[in-house]
Amino acid sequence: MPAPAALHALILASLDDDQAQEVVSIPLAGKSEIADAMVIASGRSTRQVAAIAQKLAERIKQAGFGPARIEGLPAADWVVIDAGDVVVHVFRPEVRSFYNLERMWGLGEESGIA
């Protein structure tokens, strides 16, 4: 199985290809057992959020990382893609502001992220 760094790079490239906005990567090593990294991104609409998530899951599988679990697709306000070593959250902007995961994981104003 390919390395976690390769998975992380694939995810960031996929989000960039699909024009995800405000992509933030949070290293979780030493903070959480759930994954090595968390990536948070926004889509402009529920349709774009769903498309970003579905394409990302397809690319992860095609690259040999195995099937990614997807939660939240029907509403597509907040979709979580669990790729094992990396967990990806794709939000509509209003929903992202409400939950503010960046602050929860210690990336508040000091890192320049509102």
The pLDDT tens digits for 79-103 are 999 999 999 999 999 999 999 988 8
pLDDT of 30 reads 82
pLDDT tens-digit map of 31-64: 888 899 999 999 999 999 999 999 999 999 999 9
| SS3 letters across 40-109 | EEECCCHHHHHHHHHHHHHHHHHCCCCCCEEECCCCCCEEEEECCCEEEEEECHHHHHHHCHHHHCCCCH
Domain ranges of the chain: 4-108
Residue 13 pLDDT > 50, yes or no?
A: yes
What architecture is domain 4-108?
A: 2-Layer Sandwich (3.30)
